[in-house]
Structure 1
């Protein structure tokens, strides 16, 4: 879908197989769309795909399969056609439905989204704090109107242009943090200092956005810093804030981003500013940044593994990151790697950290495509869960490709003796024998079962260090 779609095309209807999706489509057709207008029906797939299903899923989504057409789209297609509405059909992939829809809305300048009110169904039980309609009301940009439909009637409308002052909203959502913030190693800032440092959360100073909230560049104590601000009313926000403080205030490592301070009353976290931004942006050459040479890529891979091993060897309890991906690796001016975003991290009892019977956690968290499939299915968490995410990222470092299906792509290329064809073409001097060794190691990290993945300390890191020192 092009982002410059006509005005009539800037309406999205989120659909699933529940009755409220039917109500949402009917309401949109009867009250929002004119005859001969068009809209986009979007279903977000949250289940893991088998690697051979699709090689690459573009961020803009894909056409539905035959099975998905019958399950989700055909009833709505016919209804729209009878009313003279052209319905485009799209499937997005993400473990977080509202996050996928929000990204699509932002990328395509969507002005209306219609969604059925959430019900206590299997999806809600699986992701206990997931309420898609409520999350959308909170997260979509103020240029988009959210229409929440229940049983054919409008349950809630958040009109375009409606937004909360970030400071006021944060204040209401984080009352519990103030009393729980305890760290002698961190600077404590008040909201006035944070507002001045970010020019009152000026969008021109915004340098990133994560699940936790936006990140702004600023200056505090005459030092350039990155300030992460909690999204208003984010579910689990208080726990993520406290976890980030707990993990980063007690550990220091050259391959971990340094937390400098916090404003607990408003859920703001202050980090060292890392000049070259994220590995994701540099791999995909955002803003036309130069290609990363293969030697630097091998160095980055080795440093990520070094930082991860440090987390996994933390005493008295290993730390499992749970959200390793290129967007959470920052690169300084010398392209040294630093792991960030430990808000989803979990402490795992050392007695079970490496066993097949892993520490049990109820709900899988992380980013779709990087989540350990065994953890996603069972909720059983251990350090090997991070190894799967590491494997996907290692493959992206040499291919420069999106995560969806990258393991299948590389495995197939190796089997055919054509690895060079899937390596990042911007690098013209890949050392093929060593890169093949690297790719095979990364594929082992992507094994479906935890027990089949190699050990980080004794297998993965020594090999990555060998390649780094070529």
Structure 2
């Protein structure tokens, strides 16, 4: 086997500096790179080859690059560009021969000096090497001051060398250490990793070489070959030393001064490429290639005779005239035989070396696996210990919680007993307070409670002759209670929401008193009976349409009635603590007494709204709408948003009906068109011949404002509408010249004639609506 070669990696040190060489098309670039590899770089170190490709000013480069100064890593680009490939090829060969790693960069700039300085500054280059031509300029660039500019403007952390004919022409030393950069960190990290791998491989290689030598020489049943015995000799004499030339001088083949390193699996070197060919035309000599990441060191150049010969060049056996004369043909057979034997031994040695390497790698993997298993076992033991400690701590905590829970349960039991005693006492006290409250309510009742027997006797057990009307709520009967004419409204059993309307009406009418609100005399809550004062002139609807052939209302009564309706409605809207919205205001729910005083009735659908809502936006959300179709606020009907101005819309429609005595359907549209066309006089009720036109027109206009579709366009009842209505009432009172008794029964009439009774029977049917 071959002697252990000199390992150049033993002399390697970690790379801590970054070297860049500026290159161009002339020979100065190769000279500069060769000088750098001989003086600045060591084997395995990375050198940056920087080429500046000039471009026209103002024209964009076709390449986009990741460098700050438009640099690009030139790997793929050089393969596409023949000029760049031709430029970098000899430099690559030189780096490969010197075992130097390279990093190729192409800069596209218009200014060479600026490009090199910016690249040096951006990537924290330690040393920049420039090659000079015979004329003293760098790369024959157009700018004559490129060397001086770079020496003057280069960063202070970069050392600059200008090389001319293989020697330093000019230099400038750095004044501070370089900063950090992405490229610098990347290259230094790769160099550090390679250095560590090389140290590890050298250690492994020395171990396996010793093992291979021992196993080859101690193989049982075999004699050590002459070649093996000669390998142990310090002088490393080959079998050629036993041969002598014609001059009597032996061929001395000594260990070489240079070596061939098999760096990677992609590189292979032929052993004896021309030596074997000179003596053997048979099979091609074996080729050695790198295995894994290990570098095979060896096959140094030999000394043939007294001359040093590289194995990569043919061995010259005609080095002297003596050799030419003494090298007999019979010795050629011996040389050929010796070479074949050496080849066979070399092959066996390399096979054993490869096997040893594989065994070493396998042993290392097993050691790593054992180490991982050991660490895993330690981790499991640590986890088990931690789990045990956690379980113990949890048990202690649960024990403490159990003790605290027992104490808490005992305290809770004592508290529960005390609470039970307090609850019994509170229940007894509440029961007593309820009884007292019930007695107080009975004593403070705002209306009289009638028994069903009293109502049945007064209505002759709800006889049909006593029935004066029928509504959605139920039938209405006329009777006498406490020697007073009354109207009794009876809740129908199957009436929808009848009980809620009954309670609502009782609650509202029992709490309010107003001269223009129907007076609630009493009720029978158990059977849903309401007792009202009797309104002898029926509803406003009956009088406007002259049901029962009653005489028409004069314009004085109409102006007074609209003022009274506005006053009573404002009273509802100003109730405390919350405003009250009627929701079903219409002529059928406005009743007239014997003096034609109007009173609002049927407040069963009324709703309370929050005062803040009524005072500000006058809107309140309800779940469903209620009321009569033509009188319902359109916005309330569409959105369910209820407010006090919902009643203002109904009030406007009623006022238009008072003026025209026409149905409510589309009435506002007809009146507005008549006013625009100047035919408003034709819209007035023809049964009243002496209408004051201006006042009627004023009332119609304010009624149309009240009947606007949008609430925000409707006027305020107290500020805008009621002052106008009061003016109309004052006009009506001033214009009374003939008592109304000439056209209707006397207001002071106490008894009711048979004819009036028949009229009232048909006119009061609206009380249940």
- Shared fold per TM-score greater than 0.5: yes
Cα contact 1:229–1:268 (8 A) shared by 2: yes
Indicate the larger mover: 209-218 or 384-393: 209-218
Q: CA deviation at 1:310?
A: 0.4
Residue 475 of structure 2 is matched in structure 1 by 214
Residue 232 of structure 1 is matched in structure 2 by 493
Go from structure 1 to structure 2 and tell me whether the alpha carbon gap of 1:357 and 1:456 turns closer, same or farther (over 3 Å shift): closer
Q: Which has the higher helix share?
A: 2
Residue 548 of structure 2 is matched in structure 1 by 287
Q: CA deviation at 1:357?
A: 6.1
Residue 325 of structure 1 is matched in structure 2 by 586
Give the match's secondary structure for 1:425. coil
Cα contact 1:354–1:384 (8 A) shared by 2: no
Residue 395 of structure 1 is matched in structure 2 by 656
Structure 1 gap segments, 5+ residues each: 1-180
What are the equivalent positions in structure 2 for 1:121-132 lying under 5 Å apart? none
Structure 1 counterpart of 2:684, from 393, 405, 423: 423
Q: CA deviation at 1:422?
A: 1.1
Structure ranking higher on relative contact order (CA contacts 8 Å, 6+ apart)? 1
How far apart, in 2, do the equivalents of 1:341 and 1:357 lie? 23
Residue 152 of structure 1 is matched in structure 2 by none
Q: Deviations over 1:340-393 (max 9, x none)?
A: 000000011101014336111010000110000000111110100000000110
Give the match's secondary structure for 2:635. helix
Q: Which has the higher strand share?
A: 1
TM-score for the superposition, normalised by structure 1: 0.61
Residue 27 of structure 1 is matched in structure 2 by none
What are the equivalent positions in structure 2 for 1:295-444 lying under 5 Å apart? 295-356=556-617, 358-444=619-705
Residue 407 of structure 2 is matched in structure 1 by none
Give the match's secondary structure for 1:298. helix
Q: Deviations over 1:271-297 (max 9, x none)?
A: 111111100111111111111000110
Residue 721 of structure 2 is matched in structure 1 by 460
Structure 2 gap segments, 5+ residues each: 1-440, 732-769
Cα contact 2:472–2:495 (8 A) shared by 1: no
Corresponding position: 1:274 with 2:535: yes
Cα contact 2:618–2:644 (8 A) shared by 1: no
How far apart, in 2, do the equivalents of 1:194 and 1:367 lie? 30
Cα contact 1:323–1:344 (8 A) shared by 2: yes
Give the match's secondary structure for 1:225. strand
Cα contact 1:328–1:341 (8 A) shared by 2: yes
Residue 464 of structure 2 is matched in structure 1 by 203
Q: Deviations over 1:317-362 (max 9, x none)?
A: 1110000000000111111110000000001110101433611101
Q: CA deviation at 1:204?
A: 2.3
Cα contact 2:541–2:588 (8 A) shared by 1: yes
Residue 417 of structure 2 is matched in structure 1 by none
Cα contact 2:583–2:647 (8 A) shared by 1: yes
Give the match's secondary structure for 1:199. coil
Residue 28 of structure 1 is matched in structure 2 by none
How far apart, in 2, do the equivalents of 1:209 and 1:411 lie? 35
Cα contact 1:356–1:450 (8 A) shared by 2: no
How far apart, in 2, do the equivalents of 1:301 and 1:363 lie? 29
Residue 204 of structure 2 is matched in structure 1 by none
Q: Deviations over 1:10-52 (max 9, x none)?
A: xxxxxxxxxxxxxxxxxxxxxxxxxxxxxxxxxxxxxxxxxxx
Q: Deviations over 1:179-202 (max 9, x none)?
A: xx9761101011111112222222
How far apart, in 2, do the equivalents of 1:449 and 1:215 lie? 37
How far apart, in 2, do the equivalents of 1:190 and 1:348 lie? 34
Cα contact 2:514–2:568 (8 A) shared by 1: yes
Q: In angstroms, what is the RMSD of aligned CA positions?
A: 1.6
Give the match's secondary structure for 1:239. helix
How far apart, in 2, do the equivalents of 1:204 and 1:392 lie? 35
Structure 2 counterpart of 1:254, from 495, 509, 515: 515
TM-score for the superposition, normalised by structure 2: 0.37
How far apart, in 2, do the equivalents of 1:442 and 1:357 lie? 19
Residue 273 of structure 2 is matched in structure 1 by none
Cα contact 2:618–2:645 (8 A) shared by 1: no
Cα contact 1:357–1:380 (8 A) shared by 2: no
How far apart, in 2, do the equivalents of 1:204 and 1:427 lie? 35
How far apart, in 2, do the equivalents of 1:364 and 1:350 lie? 20
Q: Between Structure 1 and Structure 2, whose CA radius of gyration is higher?
A: 2
Cα contact 1:208–1:215 (8 A) shared by 2: yes
Q: Deviations over 1:433-459 (max 9, x none)?
A: 110000000010000011111100011
How far apart, in 2, do the equivalents of 1:250 and 1:301 lie? 24
Residue 139 of structure 1 is matched in structure 2 by none
Give the match's secondary structure for 2:526. helix
What are the equivalent positions in structure 2 for 1:19-98 lying under 5 Å apart? none
Cα contact 1:261–1:270 (8 A) shared by 2: yes
How far apart, in 2, do the equivalents of 1:293 and 1:342 lie? 28
Give the match's secondary structure for 1:351. helix
How far apart, in 2, do the equivalents of 1:390 and 1:256 lie? 16
Cα contact 1:354–1:383 (8 A) shared by 2: no
